[in-house]
Structure 1
Amino acid sequence: MSETDLPSGARPGDAETLDRPQTGETPPDTQLDEDDRLRPAFVRAVLDAVEAGDAAAAKALVEPLHPADIADLFELTPADERAALAKAIAEHLDADVFAEMNDYVREVLIDALTATQVADIASELDTDDAVAIIEDMDAEDQLQVLRAMEPDDRAAIEEALSYPEESAGRLMQRELIAVPEHWTVGNVLDYLRGHDELTTDFWEIFVVDAGHHPVGTCALSWILRTPRAVPVADVMKREQTLIPVDMDQEEVALRFQKYALISAAVTDASGRLVGIITVDDIVHIIQQEAGEDALRLSGAGDGDINEPIGLTVRTRLVWLVVNLGTAMIAAGVVGLFDAVIARYALLAALMGIVSGMGGNAGTQTLAVVVRALATNQLTSSNTWRMIGREFKIAASNGLLLGLLIGGGSWLLYGRADLAVVFGSAIFINNVVAGLSGVLIPIGLERMRVDPAVSSAVFVTMMTDCCGFGVFLGLATLFRLHG
């Protein structure tokens, strides 16, 4: 059926659907409902077919899946069964699947392939996806893969690998459409239709001057709706957000979010157009960065369930040892007041409440500040305003909690002096927690240390030491005894 034969109201993209028998039945290989894909029963059915040596059945089950779903299938498959699955469905294990795959899972499968096979996969991908596959390989393996690639593809990959990790240079793709500013819309259309080697996935056309510096952009919709004789310079948008090639990917994501970008030009040190970054890559970066910050606050590392156990143990153990050191410091503070604790044993039970309440308050403030730093909401221009704001919040909460807990302890134990000590310690430690939660991450940021990684340990140490010290110090001052 030609496009001109489509029924009224149908779109050209509907031709394939209209050619199918409208019987209400789905083809045999897609009997599985979309919502049931990748549920345990489906995964087990695929693995049972692989284990039984029935590669045809496994392929029939996997064939309807999107590349991202096939990648998820490998992640859901036990590690010792992935190689057999890859062998059984090899014809569906294409470049798009590798691009969607978890880094740790992909690394294991890539190791099982030859340099030529990896080169073939990388050559089918956009530059940014190809770099994601190759950048984690050993230097020797990287060299073998690059040697097996076509010269143009190899040059693009080598250039990308020369940029810092997690920079715009690593993230960008070289496949783009750029035209001279003196062209007309008709020239652009003829160029797009007359060159089969051009990229097929694009939303914007970049306009460059004689030195290949970007001077504007044209949305594809503008080109399609504008008469052929109109100069590109008359319809292009001159205001654009340019991304330096060495900009950190987190800052790139913030620019996309702030200016609602779909794509953006990447420029080198001389201002020449060298690539583009598209919003689909940014969505992944935002998710990755947000997850990393949340996990680093707890010292859990990457938190990837596919990460090797040995690497996870080492990452978590480091911060557990650091926490042990800070706990010993807090215990040393308690040891300074062993005499007052011996006179009034109830203090040993209550001092944990003081430090615990402070720890919770500090964690709340820390989470807000780390997020504000990550999203660029907190800058040098509003630092003092942020500190003042958190001080007011901490003081208000501390005062209310101090009155509540002090009054409660008076009713429970019938001692006014204990109520004053308990309530005052809660108030003071809450203020210290609030200030620590904002000052420590800001200080670490100024020293170029990731506050998401280190802040929690120091905030906990401050609230524990202050909580124990203030509570037991006030108890000593008021000469509390049983």
Structure 2
Amino acid sequence: MTDAREMDDVDANIAPPSLDEDNRLTDEFVRSVSEAVENNDTVLAQELVNPLHNADIADLFELIGEDERAPLAEALGDLVSADVLAEMNDYVREDLIEVLDAGQIADLTEQLDTDDAVAIIEDLEDHEQLAVLAELEPEDRAAIESALTYEEETAGRIMQREFVAVPEHMMVGDLIDYLRKNDDLTTEFWEIYVVDPAYKPVGTCQLSWIMRVPRDIAVADIMKREQTLIPADMDQEEVALRFQKYNLISAAVINDDGRLIGMITVDDILHIVEDEASEDVLLLSGAGEGDINEPIRDSYVARVRWLIANLATALVASFVIWTFGAAIEQMVALAVLMPIVASIGGNAGTQTMAVSVRALAMNELTRSNTRRIIGREFRIALLNGGTIAVLVGIGTGLVFANPLLGIVIAVAMLINIVIAGFAGIFVPVTLDRMDQDPALASSVFVTMITDTMGFLAFLSLAVGSGLVNF
């Protein structure tokens, strides 16, 4: 048994600061916990970890090696709570769940809101799901099974089924008494949903309104009838846009019949916004999920296919160069300057593509304003192209003492930047019209277009102007 003096020694001499100035776990702290676990000193490990927030405990598991996670979980015992699991990275959580039996997983999920419980159970294999569901209480099992019937990344998957709904004829005083006396109600909510006899939402009441009006006022007299209703099959990205557009804190989720079946809160939306934004950035780079905890094989498969696609598209640009091989042999300067034309064009295309993908994701670029946005990007491309063309043309003419070469590369640069601007918006919009994620393959096609057209324009102009023979 550790006495008080020994505990003071732990706090004063052994335990390093757990968080740095950026609120991240320090290397020294992570190392101290790992050493305590390695030395089978569970008391010290728990003493070090106990003050941490659930999210920091989850971070601790992500920072240590894969083979250390199971021993750490065993050493920490009850400190690895359901809330800690809910905060964990998906891959790290899968590693831990593999060492738990169905009963332990069921005990943990029963402590969570439905949406967090579903996030854990949906990653299990089918036979593991059945085993865990069999261990749950009937009410919890029914709620989770209902959630699993909806497609992934839809409102039905992420909604909470714990909410407060009351009839509109109820008086405020009766509502307050109902909230105080009913222990089965959820403890975390910001709004109360008002429903009709068919259980269809007709309005909402914020808790602040309820607490500030007399008890003899009817709920129908203070509720807000205008509300944003979320269909259960709506994509989670569209749900996030609704929250952003209408400044929502929570929203009711309805089924096909218009009946209230759940709610979504803004804390869930924050995770969705982060996930969707990260997904788009990673898709643009072809890096797959981009998770540092993702298995090496999965990362390899996700990345190599896009590298192979880039190799195929690069062959198109190489073919253009090969076609003008004789002209390049006559003037080495052409080979020196070609990468500049392609590189600047590629950067210009990437700029426009990034803006376009973001606008499509935020519903800012739609069929109604596509022409106007294309015109806007075309004018920007002309201005950028003209500026860069003048600079590179003058510089090339002076460095190589060849004004004609300067004019050729200036015109080629202008052409390529304009084409890059058009490609940067045309490719994402086309993919979106084909119901494909515009971030998925835009970079591959835009890069191919800018490289190929840059080389083609530069070398064709060099030949056409008489700078070299072909």
Settle same-fold status: TM greater than 0.5.
yes
Letter in 2 for 1:235: I
Q: Who is 1:16 aligned against?
A: none
Q: Provide the C-alpha distance between the structure 2 equivalents of 1:195 and 1:28, rounded to a whole number of angstroms.
A: 43
Q: Provide the C-alpha distance between the structure 2 equivalents of 1:478 and 1:396, rounded to a whole number of angstroms.
A: 24
Deviation at 1:148, TM superposition (A): 1.2
Give the match's secondary structure for 1:297.
helix
Stretches of structure 1 that go unaligned for 5 or more consecutive residues are 1-24
Q: Who is 1:371 aligned against?
A: 358
Q: Who is 1:298 aligned against?
A: 285
| 1:257 matched to 2:241 | no
Q: Who is 1:267 aligned against?
A: 254
Letter in 1 for 2:331: Y
Q: Is the contact made by 1:171 and 1:277 (CA closer than 8 Å) also made in structure 2?
A: yes
| 1:203 matched to 2:179 | no
Q: Who is 2:375 aligned against?
A: 388
Q: Who is 1:118 aligned against?
A: 105
Q: Provide the C-alpha distance between the structure 2 equivalents of 1:199 and 1:246, rounded to a whole number of angstroms.
A: 24
Deviation at 1:481, TM superposition (A): 3.5
Stretches of structure 2 that go unaligned for 5 or more consecutive residues are 1-7
| 1:237 matched to 2:224 | yes
| 1:156 matched to 2:139 | no
Q: Provide the C-alpha distance between the structure 1 equivalents of 2:35 and 2:15, rounded to a whole number of angstroms.
A: 18
Q: Who is 2:63 aligned against?
A: 76
Letter in 1 for 2:364: Q
Q: Is the contact made by 2:18 and 2:29 (CA closer than 8 Å) also made in structure 1?
A: no
Q: Provide the C-alpha distance between the structure 2 equivalents of 1:114 and 1:145, rounded to a whole number of angstroms.
A: 8
Change in Cα spacing, 1:344 to 1:33, as seen in structure 2 (3 Å) is closer
Q: Who is 1:191 aligned against?
A: 178
| 1:327 matched to 2:307 | no
1:80-120, Cα deviation, whole Å (9 max, x unpaired): 11111000001101110000000000011111111111111
Structure 1 segments (4+ residues) deviating >3 Å: 27-37
Give the match's secondary structure for 1:452.
helix
Give the match's secondary structure for 2:217.
coil
Q: Provide the C-alpha distance between the structure 2 equivalents of 1:427 and 1:373, rounded to a whole number of angstroms.
A: 27
Q: Provide the C-alpha distance between the structure 1 equivalents of 2:383 and 2:419, rounded to a whole number of angstroms.
A: 13
Give the match's secondary structure for 1:264.
strand
Give the match's secondary structure for 1:282.
helix
Q: Provide the C-alpha distance between the structure 1 equivalents of 2:304 and 2:175, rounded to a whole number of angstroms.
A: 59
Q: Who is 1:310 aligned against?
A: 297
Q: Provide the C-alpha distance between the structure 1 equivalents of 2:325 and 2:178, rounded to a whole number of angstroms.
A: 84
Letter in 1 for 2:167: P
1:237-280, Cα deviation, whole Å (9 max, x unpaired): 11111111111111111111111111000011111000000000
Q: Who is 2:401 aligned against?
A: 414
Deviation at 1:35, TM superposition (A): 3.5
Q: Provide the C-alpha distance between the structure 1 equivalents of 2:207 and 2:468, rounded to a whole number of angstroms.
A: 80
Q: Is the contact made by 1:178 and 1:208 (CA closer than 8 Å) also made in structure 2?
A: yes
Deviation at 1:411, TM superposition (A): 1.3
- RMSD value over aligned CA atoms? 1.7
Q: Is the contact made by 1:217 and 1:237 (CA closer than 8 Å) also made in structure 2?
A: yes
Letter in 1 for 2:281: A
Deviation at 1:429, TM superposition (A): 0.3
Q: Provide the C-alpha distance between the structure 1 equivalents of 2:313 and 2:280, rounded to a whole number of angstroms.
A: 22
| 1:55 matched to 2:42 | yes
After TM superposition, the score normalised by the length of structure 2 is 0.95
Letter in 1 for 2:183: D
Q: Who is 1:346 aligned against?
A: 333
Q: Who is 2:5 aligned against?
A: none
Give the match's secondary structure for 1:175.
coil
Q: Provide the C-alpha distance between the structure 2 equivalents of 1:245 and 1:384, rounded to a whole number of angstroms.
A: 33
Deviation at 1:336, TM superposition (A): 0.9
Q: Provide the C-alpha distance between the structure 1 equivalents of 2:183 and 2:15, rounded to a whole number of angstroms.
A: 37
Match of 1:94 among 75, 81, 84: 81
Match of 1:175 among 148, 159, 162: 162
Q: Who is 1:136 aligned against?
A: 123
Q: Is the contact made by 1:340 and 1:480 (CA closer than 8 Å) also made in structure 2?
A: no
Q: Is the contact made by 2:17 and 2:26 (CA closer than 8 Å) also made in structure 1?
A: no
Q: Who is 1:397 aligned against?
A: 384
Give the match's secondary structure for 2:202.
strand
| 1:359 matched to 2:350 | no
Q: Who is 1:42 aligned against?
A: 29
Deviation at 1:34, TM superposition (A): 6.2
Q: Is the contact made by 1:205 and 1:217 (CA closer than 8 Å) also made in structure 2?
A: yes
1:319-350, Cα deviation, whole Å (9 max, x unpaired): 00000000111101111111111111211111
After TM superposition, the score normalised by the length of structure 1 is 0.93
Deviation at 1:351, TM superposition (A): 1.0
Q: Provide the C-alpha distance between the structure 2 equivalents of 1:301 and 1:249, rounded to a whole number of angstroms.
A: 20
Q: Who is 1:18 aligned against?
A: none
Change in Cα spacing, 1:123 to 1:107, as seen in structure 2 (3 Å) is same
Give the match's secondary structure for 1:266.
strand
Q: Provide the C-alpha distance between the structure 2 equivalents of 1:44 and 1:125, rounded to a whole number of angstroms.
A: 30
Q: Provide the C-alpha distance between the structure 2 equivalents of 1:475 and 1:251, rounded to a whole number of angstroms.
A: 50
Q: Provide the C-alpha distance between the structure 1 equivalents of 2:101 and 2:142, rounded to a whole number of angstroms.
A: 20
Q: Provide the C-alpha distance between the structure 2 equivalents of 1:481 and 1:328, rounded to a whole number of angstroms.
A: 24
Q: Alignment identity in percent? A: 58
Q: Is the contact made by 1:265 and 1:273 (CA closer than 8 Å) also made in structure 2?
A: yes
Q: Provide the C-alpha distance between the structure 1 equivalents of 2:195 and 2:325, rounded to a whole number of angstroms.
A: 75
Q: Provide the C-alpha distance between the structure 2 equivalents of 1:288 and 1:162, rounded to a whole number of angstroms.
A: 22
Q: Provide the C-alpha distance between the structure 2 equivalents of 1:225 and 1:418, rounded to a whole number of angstroms.
A: 78
1:212-241, Cα deviation, whole Å (9 max, x unpaired): 000111111111111111100001111111
Q: Who is 2:423 aligned against?
A: 436
Q: Provide the C-alpha distance between the structure 2 equivalents of 1:51 and 1:311, rounded to a whole number of angstroms.
A: 30
